[in-house]
Structure 1
């Protein structure tokens, strides 16, 4: 088994081993993974955080040892806290990073990617946050454009948004909405929900296709065209701009 870590800011994960293939997610700087299949130009990887699988370009990651993989898997993760920032390596070269990038073996402003040392001097997240802090993090992504497979304020999808907000708060959600819906505790009514709980929505076939974070006063923040705030009722999401319901409510889950 081989192991790797992302040493670039944002790397696409593809459904197949081709630049033309659909981007199904992204790997952010500092995220580590198992390499479950290595070909000439592409590797199939499994992310340590959520076991998500897909293909990335062999030129866009750094191989690490199994010992280093296990070390950072056991530590409490630290994530960058600025929307856009940078790390500096020993050669004084800058690498831009987006909020939610992982800072492996972070200590006193320094981090490691294998044998390469970097410095990082700004805000970061580590440990578990309260639900009120979850909402503050969610607002950081407000107006981020929708991007299928995206995980950053420069492009994000609905489940990438909920996953990243909870990730920065110290909690693990799976990558896709239908999988996140298998986690947590079911609530019977909207009235039982609290700000920070998740609401899931389905299509005509009953497949869960959307997720958002419940706010105060029966509002919801979610990625639909952009990360936006709309009204949540027993039917689903009501979009004031369009003056209609855009998503049909399926279930509300308490994750923490």
Structure 2
């Protein structure tokens, strides 16, 4: 289907080629073709990219940029070949195999390279990522939820695919409490850990200490009750709504943090994502992506079709009538929901029932959708499966 689509794109381009020689600006047909490629192969640039600019240089028409989709790269080759004077400088990412493990307790991932850029997501210690590109001390990475963004090189340690496979074998353990400390032998601090962070157990329990190794090779000790086997976290048999909600309630009162996906602070979708992650599942990063996960639940005025734990999605409508999802939270029953909202500043409950003390009128008026997430549903992936996919593929295309 994608090849047929591109043939149509190329035909449209060829019909417009007669104008190329007379125009000093990039031809409209070329721009339209690239736009269609982007819509076909990378409709959501958070998970795949077709970033191509067309530049005239004398008699040459230079295609410059990058894509993360092999099929898009092949289509661009055809487009450039059909362009008089076409020069292809589009890179397919990753240019070479590259992987890494997060080496800090919580790594801040940004929309663009640079500490002043927007915080868009986070990743926990021991999480595998694929390396797509490098610029001035920053790596363009892909996380296990397929999110693409930038991470400073000091927050990761580069590893081979074989080293990644070794990391996920043997005595890998996860941090159990919301936060703990890794101590050195002299009780000095080596690092901190947050719930879901991964380290290697490297010896037997000795009193109140378990020796561990961090992804970058540092060693230290944690308490035996502060870790659980990786398999226990990453290979659940099914989604337990009660457990997901128990985890969600344990985050109540924690601060709202735009881009946050750790127990230290979360935004709305980071909150729902974290609750599922700490119960063994990777779900999409943003609310506008989570609304496509799981199965549809019909909304009515009395919320009669909803069950505890369903995800509620809020937003508004664009000028063209399409929905714009901007917020998500957990339904609790009786018209109540639990969410991380910038309007509240922290994770808390609110009501969708008019007349109640904590009624959130703006949320009731902006309620758009509801979804129910269960094992095997689209967008609901066991941690072990999502992590293994990082070093067995770089793109879904």
TM-score by length of 2: 0.57
Larger Rg over CA atoms: 2
- Aligned partner of residue 85 in structure 1, secondary structure: strand
- Aligned partner of residue 207 in structure 1, secondary structure: strand
- 2:159 maps to which residue? 64
Residue 153 of structure 1, CA deviation: 3.4
- 1:253 maps to which residue? 371
Alpha-carbon distance between aligned partners in 1 of 2:165 and 2:128, rounded to the nearest angstrom: 10
Greater fraction helix: 2
- 2:136 maps to which residue? 40
Residue 86 of structure 1, CA deviation: 2.1
- Aligned partner of residue 203 in structure 1, secondary structure: strand
Contact 1:103 1:112 in 2 (8 A): yes
1:201 pairs, out of 314, 318, 321, with 314
- 2:290 maps to which residue? 180
Aligned CA RMSD, in angstroms, stands at 2.9
Flag the 1:96–1:238 CA change in 2: closer, same or farther, 3 A. Answer: farther
Alpha-carbon distance between aligned partners in 2 of 1:239 and 1:170, rounded to the nearest angstrom: 35
Deviates most, 129-138 or 97-106: 97-106
Flag the 1:39–1:202 CA change in 2: closer, same or farther, 3 A. Answer: same
Contact 1:13 1:56 in 2 (8 A): yes
Residue 6 of structure 1, CA deviation: 1.2
- 1:113 maps to which residue? 215
Greater fraction strand: 1
- Aligned partner of residue 19 in structure 1, secondary structure: coil
1:51 pairs, out of 143, 146, 150, with 146
Gaps of 5+ in 1: none
The answer on 1:162 being equivalent to 2:258 is: no
Residue 133 of structure 1, CA deviation: 1.0
Contact 2:256 2:265 in 1 (8 A): yes
Q: 1:123-162, aligned counterparts within 5 Å?
A: 123-124=227-228, 126=233, 127-128=235-236, 130-162=240-272
- 1:81 maps to which residue? 176
The answer on 1:230 being equivalent to 2:326 is: no
Residue 162 of structure 1, CA deviation: 0.3
TM-score by length of 1: 0.85
Contact 2:103 2:214 in 1 (8 A): no
State the Cα deviation string for residues 39-72 of structure 1 (Å, max 9, x = none): 331111111x201111111122111221122455
Gaps of 5+ in 2: 1-96, 205-209, 375-397
